[in-house]
């Protein structure tokens, strides 16, 4: 498939801009180990970038299940504290700040809900960086379904083929490709071992800036 010139960059959020995913996995992993269980990364990866694809509670003892409400509250507070203390992924702010001066549009497409995303974007003074947000609240099906990316393109008034998606996960990148977009995969610690097809462009991080991202996008094939 040949693509027209890139007119927009559409970012995923969790794990791509802010690595919430690694913090969450580490806390769940620690909870499992407290109860002499192991949480396989391969199992956890099934739920990354989507919703309800993996239930981590199912692998915990019944004693934990009975006290689930209290355990969940403690776990949630710990995860949020970790995320609160974390910075954006290295180099990603520079990339985001360079998109509009380069004459490109900027949007966000995420399987998370709008309240979650706006909370952390606001925390890092990034909410106004995006022209539009497509969130879980806006669609019937989240990634790996292409609906979120199709919505983001429609909100921008662009054909999907004129957009490049920036993703960290297999579910997310699959959604972008299904929408007919170029995709650049920039995995994090917990998604790096996912089986991304070699035809999808991949970068180790954002330190090369927007130029490196766009150069990688030009190599994408489907």
Helix extents (H) in the chain:
20-34, 41-45, 62-66, 68-85, 92-99, 114-123, 147-156, 170-178, 209-217
Long-range contacts formed by 202-206: CB under 8 A, 24+ apart: 205/89, 205/90, 205/91, 206/89, 206/90, 206/91, 206/92, 206/94, 206/95
Q: Which of 14, 19, 145, 168 is catalytic?
A: 14
- 14 catalytic residue (yes or no): yes
DSSP three-state, residue 94: helix
SS3 content of the chain, % helix, strand, coil (to 5): 45, 10, 45
Cα–Cα distances in angstroms (integers) from residue 189 to residues 28, 37, 45, 145, 179, in the given order: 15, 21, 11, 24, 26
Q: Which of 12, 138, 145, 168 is catalytic?
A: 12
DSSP three-state, residue 160: helix
DSSP three-state, residue 217: helix
The CA angle 53-56-59, to the nearest 5 degrees, is 125
- 145 catalytic residue (yes or no): no
Catalytic (active-site) positions: 12, 14
């Amino acid at each position: 498939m040949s693509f027209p010139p890139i007119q927009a960059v559409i970012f995923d959020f969790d794990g791509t801009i802010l690595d919430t995913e690694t913090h969450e996995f580490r806390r769940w992993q620690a909870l499992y180990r407290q109860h002499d269980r192991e949480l396989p990364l391969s199992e956890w990866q099934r739920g990354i970038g989507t919703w309800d694809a993996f239930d981590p509670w199912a692998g915990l003892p019944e004693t934990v299940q009975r006290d689930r409400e209290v355990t969940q509250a403690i776990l949630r507070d710990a995860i949020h504290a970790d995320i609160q203390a974390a910075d954006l992924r290295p180099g990603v702010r520079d990339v985001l700040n360079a998109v509009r001066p380069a004459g490109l549009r900027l949007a966000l497409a995420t399987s998370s809900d709008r309240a979650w995303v706006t909370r952390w974007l606001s925390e890092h003074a990034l909410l106004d960086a995006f022209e539009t947000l497509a969130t879980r609240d806006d669609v019937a099906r989240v990634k790996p379904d292409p609906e979120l990316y199709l919505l983001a393109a429609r909100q921008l008034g662009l054909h999907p083929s004129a957009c490049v998606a920036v993703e960290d996960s297999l579910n997310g990148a699959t959604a972008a490709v299904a929408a007919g977009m170029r995709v650049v995969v920039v995995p994090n610690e917990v998604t790096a071992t996912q089986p991304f097809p070699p035809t999808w462009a991949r970068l180790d991080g954002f330190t090369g800036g927007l130029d490196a991202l766009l150069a990688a996008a030009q190599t994408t094939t489907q």
